[in-house]
Structure 1
Amino acid sequence: MARRRLLLLLKPFDIYPTRQSDCFSRITNPQTLQILGYLDNRRKVHKDAVNFCQDILRQKFVDWEPILRNDLSRPIRNVDLVVTVGGDGTLLQASHFMDDSIPVLGVNSDPTQVEEVEEFGTVYDTTRSTGYLCAATIKNFEQHDHFFQVLDDILEGRTVPSKLSRMSICVNSRLVSTYALNDILMAHPCPATVSRFSFKITRDGQPCSPLVNCRSSGLRVSTAAGSTAAMHSAGGFAMPISSQDLQYMVREPITPGAANSSLMHGFVKSDQSMDTAWFCKEGMIYIDGSHVVYSIQHGDTIEISSRAPVLRVFLPHHLLT
């Protein structure tokens, strides 16, 4: 049997301060030192998780290569599985370099700890990694838990990846090379500047909705996977993870009565597109947060749809049920 080939994509360690850094030696405030100690602990937990995953892979009948996510610059090819170690951000970054031929497994290296939140949550933000799309932690990466032995089940073919819908973006009829797994935000580069744009929903080039003219702080569009993130925080709806529809919301509309209009928030069906025209001198399309940014300008047309290659992801058990 041929050896399986894996790419291990890692969140970098240097995003957290260490106890040896200058910031620790210069600070005497006990609460600030406590917060810095928490960040140092996050670094250690993440590093331990990376080492654990690497130790497990050394024991498996696989060929694997580690790479920091910041060093990823070309499409991922010629591997059988991508394993990301970090959180949803690391999995998102991997998705921008993947088509629908290779599955990905997310390992949440630093899950939020309930005891920590209960003890210190009123003092500082004790939230760690959400890992919404991550099926594994170091607690179940190899060892048996109540649901499955994640890695062994994948390598031995006892589990199959789910297909997550992604978003396709065309600017002036040219396809943007990055597909959005979570969401996009169209806005002015300066968040205090009013954005002017219009949009309508179409199917096969025919309008399915009125033309909506907007003055607002921007337009957010999410996939089902992204509907529990910023979209949900802004008042949107969590969608079934398998949905191929998109959800949109005009952010902070300032036209009188617009905030209560049903046209400001809705859905784009899988066989529909959202056709948008941009009427500001400058603009940005932020893809999956700040991971990828695409510039637009006055007069540009943007077509958004779910007609993009899916991403094959091994999802956590609770999302499948």
Structure 2
Amino acid sequence: MEALDPLKLDLQRQVAALNAALGVHVVDGAVSRVTLLNSLSRLLAAPQCTLQIAKFFRPLLVDLTARWLLDIDVPEEARFVALALLIETHEEIFPILAEFLQRPSLARGPVAFVTKENAASLPAATLQPILLAGYPHCGVMYLAIHCYAFHANMPELRREEMQQQYLGELGLEDCEIDYGLDESGEPVTTDGWLLALTESNRILDKRQEIATTALPYMATATLAPEDICPRVANVQGVLLLRDSTAPAPTSALVMTPSLREPLQLLAAQYSLRLPTLLTSTQSAGKALLLAHLATQLHPTTASQLVVIHLADTSIDARSLVGSHVSSQTVPGKFEWKEGVLL
């Protein structure tokens, strides 16, 4: 497991492979490590480079995208499109996407800049990547219908009726959709009617590639801990998003060989947002392990752990999720009170 430490990735070899794949010298491997990571982060938002950088620098993808949360000179729209493209095959960056969508500029959604007055003047190439409606272009309208149907939990039959109303019979009219840029920067288009199948195949192929492609690592670290983005914690080789740039407080955990693998596995499960059952003999350090992980990810919060004693017979679903209770301020009114899990 130690060999998979992202800080040991062979950067120079991957930079050379990236330049060869793009067919042009876009990254200079002779610069400082921090400058290299910043350059890769900026290039990751370029449509023609996104997938290639994610391929060659996959172990550092959390770091490269976390840099977008700081004041880095990358267009907001480009970051949003890149995150949307990567999220299906790199679920570990979901916390970064979630925080990115909380930005004040996106409070009204990523397409709030479009109005009834300017919609017709915006090019389809601008609207399609962010899945916008309100533009008389078949591809954009197709995407808009699907987004609206998904958001409104619309039945498939109703969605098909809406498609027929606005786009006509299935497949009769060309429904060309911009599908990003290739490595040379040339636009790629696809048939909107086949978009779901195209995307499904792309995701399956990419996941298969990730599962079968080995990346080169060095025997010693090529990156120092201070080179990593301050919003990222390196937990035994697993990069996780932190909620602050503040340094983590001193942990009571004494790292021993027997704790390294459990902590790494726990961090990997957490990065994929998977429920995890942690078991051991009594007083083996389960709570200490969880507390250590919490302090690494939430350095400014005293405690992020909620302890629930399941042996308590008074616990039911309402105490965990929440329920309506009598208002303490307005007599005769019920208010929602969240449970300990929310």
- TM-score range (shorter-chain normalised) is under 0.3
Instruction: Looking at secondary structure, tell me which structure has more helix per residue.
Output: 2
TM-score (norm 1): 0.27
For the pair shown, which has the larger CA radius of gyration, 1 or 2?
2
TM-score (norm 2): 0.26
